[in-house]
Amino acid sequence: MTDTPIIWSGGEHIFNLNHPWVRNVLSVRGLPGDYGSTPAACFKRFEQGIFSSDDAERVIELGLIGGGMSRAEAEELVDRHVRTKPVLENSATAFSALATLFATPDAEQEAA
């Protein structure tokens, strides 16, 4: 999987949940909630509409870090554009970033 550009918070940002550092964080700390703490469990929460604000914050923050942003920059963006907004405003962005772990984006499928 390659980095995935997503338009969010006034610009295009690269999200990558498949970065080795992010995968390590996910394997150690996970994304706790209903159905467990795996990315698949979090994906199911988004699909069923029972995700939490923590789910959206964590997926977006880890995706930004995996995409090359420093932890401090990602934290600042999440503070400004996620934690201060209603959870639904960022749920589609988080779900899109999470979905890239399970499906190849259309452009990559066409190139294969």
Q: Give the domain ranges of the chain.
A: 4-104
Q: How many CB atoms lie within 10 A of CB 64?
A: 26
User: Residue 18 belongs to what H/E stretch?
Assistant: none
> Among residues of the chain, what percentage have pLDDT more than 90?
79
pLDDT digits (tens, 9 = 90+) for 50-103: 999 999 999 999 999 999 999 999 999 999 999 999 999 999 999 999 998 888
Distance between CA atoms of residues 85 and 108, nearest Å? 32
| C-alpha to C-alpha distance for 77 and 19, rounded to whole angstroms | 19
Separation CA 86–CA 69 (nearest Å):
24
For residue 36, give both structure tokens: 């467990």
Distance CA 65, CA 72 (A): 9
**Is the whole model's pTM more than 0.75, yes or no?**
yes
